[in-house]
Amino acid sequence: MYRAPDGEQYFVVDTHVHYWDASPENWANKYGEGFINCFYDYHRNLSPEEWVWPIEKFRLYSEEDMMRDLFDEGYVDVAIFLPTYLTDFYRRGFNTTERDAILKEKHPDRFILNTSWDPRDGEAGLEKLEEKVEKWDIKGVKLYTAEWRGDSRGWKLTDPWAERYLDKCRELGVTNVHVHKGPTIWPLTRDAFDVSDVDDAATSFPELTFIVEHCGVPRLEDFCWIGVQEPNVWGGLAVVAPFIHTRPRWFGKAIGELLYWLGEDRITWASDYAIWHPKWLVEQFVDFQIPDDMTDEYGQLTPSIKRKILGLNAARLYDIAVPEDLREREPAETGPEVTEKPAVPTS
């Protein structure tokens, strides 16, 4: 929980965290080193200077580091694991469900455990997915459409096998589908993260919620046009959020566009830990206001909107219990007239 200097309180759900092993001993080839070095560049270039780690710690941080950073210092109430396997680059995988489960089992009230699947695993992968869901009562998956697999450089949500996996998710009650659709990471292919296949999948599987991690950046506009038409498409602020520090006007435009097209109820907050530390991200987000010369177009970021984004939206998505004093307050009645934002075309 975060109590701001003005007394406002915020329940915080970090919807995108990792417990990775990118140590040199785990590198399968040069791509393992290159991938984590690219992550480190994001960490180093977008973090405040005092929050930059040595690269050795960044490659392999401890359980103690993670628990302190998220929950003791970072204001996080609940954190959601989003696994990324990358078994072509890392001998034991980069950030697996099994590794994340170690912390989930030690701290069951602090973490939500998700898993992952890859349609290129065929029937065997479907069986493994069902086993993991049954073992850990999983409600969400993280999909990484640009992951390499042998000669394959990625896949799409519209591939026939991907549709079979989405249908299996629907059957198993795995309703939260987190899809990485954002900036590329070396050596992955940028176009394999294109957001366009979300449109078809969201239409075909209305029972599932597609949380587009990184909001499609650098294809934010494309994502917004999909999100406004598909009510089961949400935006995750991982990678978008740290620009609040280095490019505050760009962040103001990005959050303004997301609020206009998707609305305040379909945006989730995330640190993408350990790329960034949640403490400074929470503090700067709560302090942030859209610049005055942009408010005529985008409006204001009110404490109510910030509460929803920082935790209440994700709590609703994952049925997380929120203490009564941290829930959204009912608006006071001010009269019969209500001012609404301009209508957005949905068809």
Nearest Cα to Cα of residue 282 among 22, 46, 20, 1: 1
Nearest Cα to Cα of residue 233 among 303, 172, 317, 158: 317
- Spell out the alpha helix ranges (H) of 239-290: 243-246, 248-261, 278-287
CATH class of 2-317: alpha beta
Can you give the pTM of this predicted structure? Answer: 0.94
Could you write out the DSSP letters of every residue in 203-252? HH-TTSEEEEEGGGTT-HHHHHHHHHH-TTEEEE-TTTTTHHHH-HHHHH
CA distances from 173 to 32, 90, 145, 170 (A): 34, 30, 22, 5
Assign 305 to helix, strand or coil.
helix
Q: CA 275 to CA 18: how far, in whole Å?
A: 9
List the pLDDT tens digit at each of the 347 positions of the chain.
Answer: 999 999 999 999 999 999 999 999 999 999 999 999 999 999 999 999 999 999 999 999 999 999 999 999 999 999 999 999 999 999 999 999 999 999 999 999 999 999 999 999 999 999 999 999 999 999 999 999 999 999 999 999 999 999 999 999 999 999 999 999 999 899 999 899 999 999 999 999 999 999 999 999 999 999 999 999 999 999 999 999 999 999 999 999 999 999 999 999 999 999 999 999 999 999 999 999 999 999 999 999 999 999 999 999 999 999 999 999 998 875 544 433 333 444 454 44
Q: What's the chain's length in residues?
A: 347
Assign 178 to helix, strand or coil.
strand
Q: CA 223 to CA 213: how far, in whole Å?
A: 11
- Domain coordinates in residue numbering, the chain: 2-317
Q: Which residue has the tokens 């010369």?
A: 293
Strands, E, within the chain: which ranges?
2-3, 9-10, 13-17, 78-81, 111-113, 115-116, 140-143, 176-180, 209-213, 233-236, 267-268
Residue 32 token pair: 């393992």
Phi-psi region of 214 (alpha: psi -120 to 50; beta: other; left: phi over 0): left
Please say whether the beta carbons of 2 and 75 come within 8 A: yes
